[in-house]
Structure 1
Amino acid sequence: MATLILLNKPYLTLCQFSDRQGRATLADHVRVPDVYPAGRLDHDSEGLVLLTDDGTLQHRIASPNQKMEKTYLVQVEGSLSDEALERLSRGIELKDGPTRPARARRIEPPGLWPRVPPVRDRATIPTSWLELTLTEGRNRQVRRMTAAAGFPTLRLVRWRIGEWTLDGLAPGEYRTLTVHLPKAPPGAGRAGLRTQRPPGRRPKPNPSKRGSRV
Protein backbone atom coordinates (compact mmCIF):
# COMPACT_ATOMS: atom_id res chain seq x y z
CA MET A 1 0.00 0.00 0.00
CA ALA A 2 1.10 3.56 -0.69
CA THR A 3 -0.05 6.89 0.64
CA LEU A 4 -1.17 9.36 -2.02
CA ILE A 5 -1.99 12.99 -1.25
CA LEU A 6 -4.00 15.15 -3.63
CA LEU A 7 -3.20 18.82 -2.98
CA ASN A 8 -4.69 21.91 -4.58
CA LYS A 9 -1.50 23.97 -4.73
CA PRO A 10 -2.22 27.69 -4.43
CA TYR A 11 -0.80 30.32 -6.75
CA LEU A 12 2.76 31.45 -5.89
CA THR A 13 3.49 28.37 -3.78
CA LEU A 14 6.73 26.51 -4.47
CA CYS A 15 6.44 22.78 -5.21
CA GLN A 16 8.95 21.89 -2.46
CA PHE A 17 8.97 21.74 1.33
CA SER A 18 11.37 24.53 2.25
CA ASP A 19 12.79 27.73 0.80
CA ARG A 20 15.70 29.81 2.03
CA GLN A 21 14.01 32.97 0.77
CA GLY A 22 10.96 32.41 2.96
CA ARG A 23 8.48 31.95 0.13
CA ALA A 24 5.33 29.82 0.48
CA THR A 25 5.97 26.08 0.08
CA LEU A 26 4.12 22.78 0.33
CA ALA A 27 4.94 22.73 4.06
CA ASP A 28 2.44 25.56 4.54
CA HIS A 29 -0.35 23.20 3.54
CA VAL A 30 0.68 19.52 3.86
CA ARG A 31 1.37 18.26 7.39
CA VAL A 32 2.13 14.66 6.55
CA PRO A 33 5.69 13.39 7.11
CA ASP A 34 7.83 11.57 4.55
CA VAL A 35 5.88 12.34 1.39
CA TYR A 36 7.37 13.80 -1.76
CA PRO A 37 5.95 15.40 -4.92
CA ALA A 38 5.42 13.11 -7.89
CA GLY A 39 6.34 15.69 -10.50
CA ARG A 40 6.25 19.44 -10.15
CA LEU A 41 3.99 22.41 -10.81
CA ASP A 42 5.36 25.86 -11.50
CA HIS A 43 5.41 28.56 -8.82
CA ASP A 44 2.94 30.68 -10.82
CA SER A 45 0.60 27.80 -11.68
CA GLU A 46 -2.23 26.43 -9.53
CA GLY A 47 -3.92 23.13 -9.04
CA LEU A 48 -3.31 19.45 -8.56
CA VAL A 49 -0.04 18.21 -7.08
CA LEU A 50 0.31 14.54 -6.10
CA LEU A 51 2.58 13.52 -3.22
CA THR A 52 3.43 10.02 -2.10
CA ASP A 53 5.62 8.02 0.27
CA ASP A 54 6.22 5.28 -2.33
CA GLY A 55 9.00 5.42 -4.93
CA THR A 56 7.27 3.06 -7.35
CA LEU A 57 4.10 5.14 -7.38
CA GLN A 58 6.12 8.34 -7.66
CA HIS A 59 7.86 6.95 -10.75
CA ARG A 60 4.59 5.83 -12.36
CA ILE A 61 3.12 9.29 -11.97
CA ALA A 62 6.15 11.43 -12.82
CA SER A 63 8.09 9.46 -15.43
CA PRO A 64 7.67 10.76 -19.02
CA ASN A 65 7.80 7.14 -20.20
CA GLN A 66 4.49 6.43 -18.47
CA LYS A 67 2.70 9.08 -20.59
CA MET A 68 0.17 9.72 -17.82
CA GLU A 69 -2.40 12.25 -18.97
CA LYS A 70 -2.53 15.67 -17.31
CA THR A 71 -5.41 18.07 -17.94
CA TYR A 72 -5.05 21.83 -17.57
CA LEU A 73 -7.62 24.63 -17.55
CA VAL A 74 -5.96 27.57 -19.25
CA GLN A 75 -6.99 31.21 -19.55
CA VAL A 76 -5.28 32.89 -22.50
CA GLU A 77 -5.11 36.39 -23.85
CA GLY A 78 -7.22 36.96 -26.97
CA SER A 79 -10.10 35.22 -28.71
CA LEU A 80 -8.91 31.67 -29.18
CA SER A 81 -9.05 30.62 -32.84
CA ASP A 82 -9.85 27.24 -34.35
CA GLU A 83 -6.43 27.32 -36.04
CA ALA A 84 -4.70 27.68 -32.67
CA LEU A 85 -6.68 24.78 -31.22
CA GLU A 86 -5.69 22.62 -34.19
CA ARG A 87 -2.01 23.54 -33.76
CA LEU A 88 -2.13 22.73 -30.05
CA SER A 89 -3.81 19.40 -30.79
CA ARG A 90 -1.42 18.16 -33.44
CA GLY A 91 1.73 19.37 -31.65
CA ILE A 92 3.76 22.58 -31.69
CA GLU A 93 7.43 23.05 -32.51
CA LEU A 94 9.24 24.41 -29.44
CA LYS A 95 12.94 25.17 -28.93
CA ASP A 96 13.42 21.72 -27.36
CA GLY A 97 11.55 19.93 -30.15
CA PRO A 98 7.97 19.24 -31.21
CA THR A 99 5.36 18.45 -28.59
CA ARG A 100 3.35 15.26 -28.64
CA PRO A 101 -0.20 15.41 -29.99
CA ALA A 102 -2.61 16.70 -27.34
CA ARG A 103 -6.30 17.26 -26.84
CA ALA A 104 -7.36 20.90 -26.90
CA ARG A 105 -10.86 22.34 -26.80
CA ARG A 106 -12.42 25.71 -26.14
CA ILE A 107 -14.48 25.88 -22.92
CA GLU A 108 -16.64 28.37 -21.07
CA PRO A 109 -15.00 30.12 -18.11
CA PRO A 110 -14.87 27.38 -15.43
CA GLY A 111 -16.30 27.98 -11.97
CA LEU A 112 -12.93 28.22 -10.25
CA TRP A 113 -11.97 29.96 -7.02
CA PRO A 114 -10.76 33.57 -7.38
CA ARG A 115 -7.03 33.83 -7.86
CA VAL A 116 -5.12 35.96 -5.36
CA PRO A 117 -3.88 38.29 -6.76
CA PRO A 118 -6.35 38.26 -9.65
CA VAL A 119 -5.42 38.14 -13.32
CA ARG A 120 -5.09 41.66 -14.68
CA ASP A 121 -8.32 42.67 -16.43
CA ARG A 122 -7.93 44.77 -19.57
CA ALA A 123 -11.26 45.91 -20.98
CA THR A 124 -9.97 46.25 -24.55
CA ILE A 125 -8.42 42.76 -24.73
CA PRO A 126 -10.68 39.68 -24.51
CA THR A 127 -9.63 36.41 -22.90
CA SER A 128 -10.52 32.79 -23.64
CA TRP A 129 -10.43 29.49 -21.78
CA LEU A 130 -9.36 26.12 -23.08
CA GLU A 131 -8.95 22.62 -21.72
CA LEU A 132 -5.61 21.10 -22.70
CA THR A 133 -4.64 17.47 -22.04
CA LEU A 134 -0.99 16.44 -22.41
CA THR A 135 0.96 13.20 -22.01
CA GLU A 136 4.30 14.90 -21.31
CA GLY A 137 5.53 17.48 -18.84
CA ARG A 138 8.32 19.71 -20.10
CA ASN A 139 9.37 22.83 -18.26
CA ARG A 140 6.59 25.45 -18.57
CA GLN A 141 5.23 23.50 -21.51
CA VAL A 142 1.63 24.75 -21.51
CA ARG A 143 2.71 28.39 -21.37
CA ARG A 144 5.21 27.88 -24.16
CA MET A 145 2.66 26.06 -26.32
CA THR A 146 -0.06 28.69 -26.04
CA ALA A 147 2.47 31.49 -26.61
CA ALA A 148 3.75 29.73 -29.74
CA ALA A 149 0.15 29.49 -30.96
CA GLY A 150 -0.26 33.25 -30.46
CA PHE A 151 -2.26 33.22 -27.22
CA PRO A 152 -0.18 33.90 -24.07
CA THR A 153 -1.29 32.14 -20.90
CA LEU A 154 -2.78 34.35 -18.19
CA ARG A 155 -3.87 31.69 -15.70
CA LEU A 156 -2.99 28.01 -15.53
CA VAL A 157 -4.75 25.42 -13.35
CA ARG A 158 -3.87 21.72 -13.44
CA TRP A 159 -7.15 19.91 -12.90
CA ARG A 160 -6.35 16.23 -13.47
CA ILE A 161 -3.44 13.78 -13.35
CA GLY A 162 -4.38 10.29 -14.54
CA GLU A 163 -7.54 9.29 -12.67
CA TRP A 164 -7.16 11.89 -9.91
CA THR A 165 -8.77 15.34 -10.01
CA LEU A 166 -9.14 18.50 -7.94
CA ASP A 167 -12.86 17.95 -7.48
CA GLY A 168 -13.97 19.23 -4.06
CA LEU A 169 -10.62 20.75 -3.06
CA ALA A 170 -10.22 24.47 -2.37
CA PRO A 171 -6.77 26.09 -2.67
CA GLY A 172 -4.47 24.77 0.07
CA GLU A 173 -6.72 21.79 0.87
CA TYR A 174 -5.78 18.16 0.34
CA ARG A 175 -7.12 14.67 0.75
CA THR A 176 -5.21 11.50 1.55
CA LEU A 177 -5.81 8.18 -0.22
CA THR A 178 -4.41 4.69 0.16
CA VAL A 179 -3.32 3.16 -3.14
CA HIS A 180 -2.86 -0.59 -3.52
CA LEU A 181 0.06 -1.37 -5.82
CA PRO A 182 1.24 -4.59 -7.44
CA LYS A 183 4.29 -6.13 -5.81
CA ALA A 184 7.28 -3.89 -6.55
CA PRO A 185 10.41 -5.28 -8.26
CA PRO A 186 13.56 -5.65 -6.15
CA GLY A 187 15.14 -2.32 -5.28
CA ALA A 188 11.97 -0.27 -5.81
CA GLY A 189 9.77 1.37 -3.20
CA ARG A 190 10.70 3.94 -0.60
CA ALA A 191 14.39 3.72 -1.47
CA GLY A 192 13.54 4.96 -4.96
CA LEU A 193 11.94 8.20 -3.81
CA ARG A 194 13.40 11.23 -5.51
CA THR A 195 13.74 13.99 -2.93
CA GLN A 196 12.69 17.37 -4.33
CA ARG A 197 13.33 19.58 -1.33
CA PRO A 198 16.43 21.05 0.32
CA PRO A 199 17.61 19.27 3.49
CA GLY A 200 15.99 20.42 6.71
CA ARG A 201 13.45 19.51 9.31
CA ARG A 202 10.02 18.45 8.12
CA PRO A 203 6.84 19.81 9.70
CA LYS A 204 5.17 17.64 12.31
CA PRO A 205 1.84 16.04 11.39
CA ASN A 206 -1.20 18.16 12.16
CA PRO A 207 -4.30 15.96 12.65
CA SER A 208 -6.57 18.99 12.49
CA LYS A 209 -5.62 19.73 8.87
CA ARG A 210 -8.29 18.61 6.44
CA GLY A 211 -7.31 15.43 4.63
CA SER A 212 -4.71 14.37 7.15
CA ARG A 213 -6.53 11.14 7.83
CA VAL A 214 -6.96 8.31 5.33
Structure 2
Amino acid sequence: MSLVKTIHRHFIIYKPYGYLSQFSSNASKQQSKKFLGALHDFPEGIMAIGRLDEKSEGLLLLTTDGKMSDFINSQKVEKEYYAQVNGAITDEAIEQLSKGVEIGFDGKKYMTKPCAVFKLDNIPELPTRSKKIRDDRHGPTTWVSITLNEGKFRQVRKMTSAVGFSTLRLVRVRVGNIHLANMQVGEVIAVDGF
Protein backbone atom coordinates (compact mmCIF):
# COMPACT_ATOMS: atom_id res chain seq x y z
CA MET A 1 0.00 0.00 0.00
CA SER A 2 1.54 3.30 -1.03
CA LEU A 3 0.69 6.60 0.54
CA VAL A 4 0.37 9.45 -1.91
CA LYS A 5 1.18 12.81 -0.39
CA THR A 6 -1.36 15.47 -1.31
CA ILE A 7 0.26 18.51 -2.87
CA HIS A 8 -1.52 21.57 -1.60
CA ARG A 9 -1.64 24.92 -3.39
CA HIS A 10 -1.29 28.27 -1.64
CA PHE A 11 -1.84 31.83 -2.85
CA ILE A 12 -1.68 35.34 -1.49
CA ILE A 13 -3.96 37.96 -2.98
CA TYR A 14 -4.66 41.65 -2.59
CA LYS A 15 -8.44 41.44 -2.27
CA PRO A 16 -9.99 44.49 -3.90
CA TYR A 17 -12.67 46.63 -2.32
CA GLY A 18 -16.13 45.46 -3.46
CA TYR A 19 -15.26 41.74 -3.77
CA LEU A 20 -16.62 38.96 -1.60
CA SER A 21 -14.11 36.54 -0.02
CA GLN A 22 -15.59 33.62 -1.92
CA PHE A 23 -15.17 32.25 -5.42
CA SER A 24 -18.74 32.10 -6.73
CA SER A 25 -22.34 31.88 -5.57
CA ASN A 26 -25.56 30.39 -6.82
CA ALA A 27 -27.66 32.68 -4.61
CA SER A 28 -29.87 34.87 -6.78
CA LYS A 29 -29.33 37.93 -4.57
CA GLN A 30 -25.56 37.65 -5.07
CA GLN A 31 -25.49 37.40 -8.87
CA SER A 32 -24.46 41.05 -9.22
CA LYS A 33 -21.60 40.65 -6.70
CA LYS A 34 -17.90 40.35 -7.51
CA PHE A 35 -16.06 37.16 -6.51
CA LEU A 36 -12.40 36.15 -6.18
CA GLY A 37 -12.85 33.60 -8.98
CA ALA A 38 -12.99 36.51 -11.46
CA LEU A 39 -9.41 37.49 -10.56
CA HIS A 40 -7.61 34.20 -11.24
CA ASP A 41 -8.16 30.61 -12.34
CA PHE A 42 -7.84 28.99 -8.91
CA PRO A 43 -7.57 25.21 -8.42
CA GLU A 44 -10.50 23.15 -7.21
CA GLY A 45 -10.80 22.94 -3.43
CA ILE A 46 -9.33 26.40 -2.82
CA MET A 47 -10.57 28.27 0.27
CA ALA A 48 -10.01 31.70 1.76
CA ILE A 49 -8.23 31.64 5.12
CA GLY A 50 -10.37 34.00 7.12
CA ARG A 51 -12.44 36.56 5.30
CA LEU A 52 -12.48 40.21 4.52
CA ASP A 53 -15.91 41.74 4.15
CA GLU A 54 -16.99 43.28 0.86
CA LYS A 55 -15.93 46.81 1.87
CA SER A 56 -12.55 45.72 3.26
CA GLU A 57 -9.44 45.09 1.20
CA GLY A 58 -5.93 43.82 1.48
CA LEU A 59 -4.05 40.63 2.22
CA LEU A 60 -6.01 37.42 1.90
CA LEU A 61 -4.43 33.96 2.05
CA LEU A 62 -5.88 31.12 0.01
CA THR A 63 -5.13 27.41 0.33
CA THR A 64 -6.31 23.91 -0.49
CA ASP A 65 -5.03 22.74 2.94
CA GLY A 66 -7.77 22.73 5.58
CA LYS A 67 -5.30 22.13 8.44
CA MET A 68 -3.28 25.18 7.39
CA SER A 69 -6.47 27.21 7.24
CA ASP A 70 -7.46 26.12 10.77
CA PHE A 71 -4.02 27.01 12.14
CA ILE A 72 -3.92 30.50 10.59
CA ASN A 73 -7.49 31.18 11.72
CA SER A 74 -6.53 30.18 15.27
CA GLN A 75 -5.63 32.78 17.85
CA LYS A 76 -1.94 31.87 17.43
CA VAL A 77 -1.47 33.99 14.30
CA GLU A 78 -1.59 37.80 14.35
CA LYS A 79 -3.50 39.80 11.75
CA GLU A 80 -2.60 43.48 11.29
CA TYR A 81 -4.97 46.04 9.80
CA TYR A 82 -4.59 49.65 8.78
CA ALA A 83 -7.83 51.53 9.43
CA GLN A 84 -8.57 55.04 8.25
CA VAL A 85 -11.00 56.42 10.80
CA ASN A 86 -13.30 59.41 10.72
CA GLY A 87 -11.88 62.18 12.90
CA ALA A 88 -8.67 62.86 14.80
CA ILE A 89 -8.48 59.79 17.02
CA THR A 90 -7.58 60.49 20.65
CA ASP A 91 -4.98 58.80 22.83
CA GLU A 92 -7.85 57.73 25.10
CA ALA A 93 -9.59 55.96 22.22
CA ILE A 94 -6.37 54.18 21.25
CA GLU A 95 -5.91 53.05 24.87
CA GLN A 96 -9.51 51.78 25.00
CA LEU A 97 -9.02 49.83 21.77
CA SER A 98 -5.79 48.27 23.03
CA LYS A 99 -7.36 47.16 26.33
CA GLY A 100 -10.49 45.76 24.65
CA VAL A 101 -13.93 47.19 23.94
CA GLU A 102 -17.44 45.80 24.04
CA ILE A 103 -18.96 45.06 20.64
CA GLY A 104 -22.03 43.18 19.45
CA PHE A 105 -21.53 39.74 17.93
CA ASP A 106 -24.19 37.15 17.10
CA GLY A 107 -26.79 39.16 19.00
CA LYS A 108 -24.69 39.14 22.17
CA LYS A 109 -22.22 41.50 23.78
CA TYR A 110 -18.58 40.56 23.30
CA MET A 111 -15.46 42.03 24.93
CA THR A 112 -12.54 42.11 22.50
CA LYS A 113 -9.18 40.80 23.67
CA PRO A 114 -6.30 43.21 24.35
CA CYS A 115 -4.43 44.06 21.15
CA ALA A 116 -1.69 46.29 19.76
CA VAL A 117 -3.00 49.66 18.51
CA PHE A 118 -1.10 52.78 17.49
CA LYS A 119 -1.60 55.86 15.37
CA LEU A 120 0.38 55.87 12.10
CA ASP A 121 2.63 58.91 11.74
CA ASN A 122 2.18 58.99 7.96
CA ILE A 123 -0.56 58.02 5.55
CA PRO A 124 0.34 54.47 4.41
CA GLU A 125 1.37 53.98 0.80
CA LEU A 126 -1.54 51.94 -0.48
CA PRO A 127 -3.07 51.72 -3.94
CA THR A 128 -5.97 54.09 -4.52
CA ARG A 129 -9.26 52.45 -3.65
CA SER A 130 -11.73 51.89 -6.49
CA LYS A 131 -14.46 53.76 -4.60
CA LYS A 132 -13.38 57.22 -3.53
CA ILE A 133 -13.24 58.04 0.16
CA ARG A 134 -14.15 61.50 1.34
CA ASP A 135 -11.15 63.78 1.70
CA ASP A 136 -9.94 65.88 4.62
CA ARG A 137 -11.86 68.96 3.41
CA HIS A 138 -14.83 67.36 5.19
CA GLY A 139 -12.94 66.97 8.47
CA PRO A 140 -9.81 65.15 9.59
CA THR A 141 -9.17 61.44 9.31
CA THR A 142 -6.57 59.33 11.09
CA TRP A 143 -4.80 56.10 10.15
CA VAL A 144 -4.25 53.53 12.90
CA SER A 145 -2.65 50.09 13.02
CA ILE A 146 -4.62 47.39 14.86
CA THR A 147 -3.10 43.93 15.38
CA LEU A 148 -5.47 41.18 16.51
CA ASN A 149 -5.21 37.52 17.42
CA GLU A 150 -8.94 37.03 16.90
CA GLY A 151 -11.29 37.77 14.05
CA LYS A 152 -14.95 38.22 14.82
CA PHE A 153 -17.32 39.39 12.07
CA ARG A 154 -16.45 43.01 11.16
CA GLN A 155 -14.49 43.26 14.39
CA VAL A 156 -12.17 46.17 13.52
CA ARG A 157 -15.07 48.27 12.22
CA LYS A 158 -17.10 47.54 15.34
CA MET A 159 -14.14 48.31 17.59
CA THR A 160 -13.38 51.74 16.10
CA SER A 161 -17.08 52.59 16.12
CA ALA A 162 -17.32 51.60 19.80
CA VAL A 163 -14.79 54.33 20.68
CA GLY A 164 -16.49 56.95 18.49
CA PHE A 165 -14.37 56.79 15.32
CA SER A 166 -16.04 54.99 12.44
CA THR A 167 -13.84 53.21 9.91
CA LEU A 168 -13.75 54.77 6.43
CA ARG A 169 -11.20 52.37 4.88
CA LEU A 170 -9.90 49.06 6.18
CA VAL A 171 -6.87 47.23 4.75
CA ARG A 172 -5.37 44.01 6.14
CA VAL A 173 -1.61 44.42 5.71
CA ARG A 174 -0.19 41.37 7.50
CA VAL A 175 -1.06 37.81 8.50
CA GLY A 176 1.65 36.27 10.69
CA ASN A 177 4.91 37.02 8.89
CA ILE A 178 3.29 37.49 5.46
CA HIS A 179 3.01 41.16 4.45
CA LEU A 180 0.98 42.91 1.77
CA ALA A 181 4.22 44.72 0.84
CA ASN A 182 3.98 46.29 -2.63
CA MET A 183 1.22 44.11 -4.07
CA GLN A 184 -1.24 45.75 -6.42
CA VAL A 185 -5.02 45.52 -6.04
CA GLY A 186 -6.25 42.20 -7.45
CA GLU A 187 -2.73 40.75 -7.72
CA VAL A 188 -2.50 37.00 -7.06
CA ILE A 189 0.80 35.27 -6.19
CA ALA A 190 1.23 31.49 -5.94
CA VAL A 191 3.52 30.56 -3.04
CA ASP A 192 5.10 27.30 -1.84
CA GLY A 193 3.56 27.54 1.62
CA PHE A 194 2.86 29.83 4.53
**Gaps spanning 5+ residues in structure 1: where?**
181-214
Size of the aligned set, in residue pairs, is 178
Distance in 2 between residues matched to 1:37 and 1:94, nearest whole Å? 25
When the two structures are superposed, what TM-score results if normalisation uses the length of structure 2?
Answer: 0.87
1:22 lines up with 2:35 in the alignment: no
1:53 aligned residue (43, 61, 64): 64
Paired residues of 1:2 and 1:57 also in contact (CA < 8 A): no
**Gaps spanning 5+ residues in structure 2: where?**
1-6
Distance in 2 between residues matched to 1:122 and 1:179, nearest whole Å? 41
Distance in 1 between residues matched to 2:13 and 2:188, nearest whole Å? 4
Q: Give 1:123 shift.
A: 1.4
Residue 145 of structure 1 is matched in structure 2 by 159
1:119 lines up with 2:125 in the alignment: no
Amino acid in structure 2 at the alignment position of 1:106: K
**1:179 counterpart SS class:** coil
Considering fraction of residues, name the structure with more strand.
2
Paired residues of 1:84 and 1:149 also in contact (CA < 8 A): yes
Once superposed, what is the RMSD of the aligned Cα atoms?
1.4
Q: Give 1:12 shift.
A: 0.3
1:31-180 alignment runs, 5 A limit: 31-34=41-44, 35-63=46-74, 66-95=75-104, 96-107=109-120, 108-121=122-135, 123-179=137-193
**1:154 counterpart SS class:** strand
Deviation sequence 1:37-87 (CA, Å, 0-9, x none): 111110000001111011111111123xx3310000110000011001100
Sequence identity percentage: 42
When the two structures are superposed, what TM-score results if normalisation uses the length of structure 1?
Answer: 0.79
Q: Alpha carbons of 1:58 and 1:109: their partners in 2 closer, same or farther (altered >3 Å)?
A: same
